[in-house]
Amino acid sequence: MKRWMLALMLATAAVAADRKNLPWERPTTRLLHGQDLYREHCVVCHDIEGKTTKKPGPSLHHLFKNPKLPLSVGKPSREYVEVKIKFGGDFMPPFVKRMNDAEIGALVDYLETK
């Protein structure tokens, strides 16, 4: 096999490997992206540290560890939180036009760690 063919095959394999692990899809990077999204869109109304808050929205502290969602009787689920972020609620604005599905997923991933 010629050297240039081998080099081309190795370069193609390297690019394919990189495509599998895009920076924003790596777990640590995804959580940092979720944290950035929380700081950009959520921190104005929601605390994430401590159960009590002086902000207008409920605290998101241990959101998925609580037996029920704040201001709701339902058990926390990823799907419900994603829908709530997308379409809002009584006082919460919808974020469907501000964040795409991947960003909402990264935000929920971050919330699951808190």
pLDDT by residue for the chain (114 residues), tens only, comes to 566 555 556 555 555 544 555 655 666 788 999 999 999 999 999 999 888 888 998 889 999 998 887 777 778 899 999 999 999 988 899 999 999 999 999 999 999 998
Token readout for 96 is 């469907």
Q: What is the pLDDT of residue 36?
A: 94
Class of domain 29-112: mainly beta
Contact (Cβ atoms closer than 8 angstroms) between residue 68 and residue 75: yes
Q: 38 phi and psi, to 5 degrees?
A: -60, -45
